[in-house]
Amino acid sequence: MAGPMKMRATWANGFTDVRVLMTHPMETGQRKDPDGNLVPMHFIQTITVQLNGKTVVDCEVSQGVSRNPVFSFRIKGGARGDKITVAWQDNKGESNSIDSAVA
């Protein structure tokens, strides 16, 4: 099941580095369960990264991204205390998001 997210955003030398972890099975639809039945596809499709509510990166991803995806992004500027929000949506319509202040 899709679960919690973790994120760390840090500012250094004029750049904000964002590292985010999503808990998600990222099923390809090719794997079989112990009974030999195919596990249906279940994977994150879209991700957006926002700085103070403004989208800076948006992503489309496939089942080719590893289970429990970890992404790093870099934003020019930003400042300590700015709000970073990362949200995802998967092929079953599930979604999650997290926000944190730049440290």
Partner 1 sequence: MDRIRRALIGISAAAFLKPWEALAAWNKEAFGAKTAQDALRSIGVSGAAPTKEVLIEAPEIAENGAVVPIEITSNIPGTTSIAVIADKNPFPLVAQFRFHEGAVPFVKLNIKMGETSEVRAIAQAGGKSYVATKEIKVTIGGCGG
Binding site for partner 1 (CB under 8 A): 15, 26, 28, 30-32, 45-46, 49, 51, 54-67, 69-78, 89, 91, 93
CB of 48 to partner 1, least distance (A): 10
Instruction: Please give the Cα distance from 16 to 25 (Å, whole number).
Output: 28
CB closer to partner 1, 37 vs 72: 72
CA 38 – CA 24 distance, rounded (Å): 18
Smallest distance, partner 1 to C-beta of residue 67, A: 7
Token look-up 């808990």 returns 23
DSSP 32: B
For residues 51 and 98, what is the distance between their CA atoms, to the nearest angstrom?
12
Across-strand partners of 70? Answer: 21
Smallest gap from residue 1 Cβ to partner 1 (A): 19
Q: Which is nearer to partner 1, 61 or 100 (CB)?
A: 61
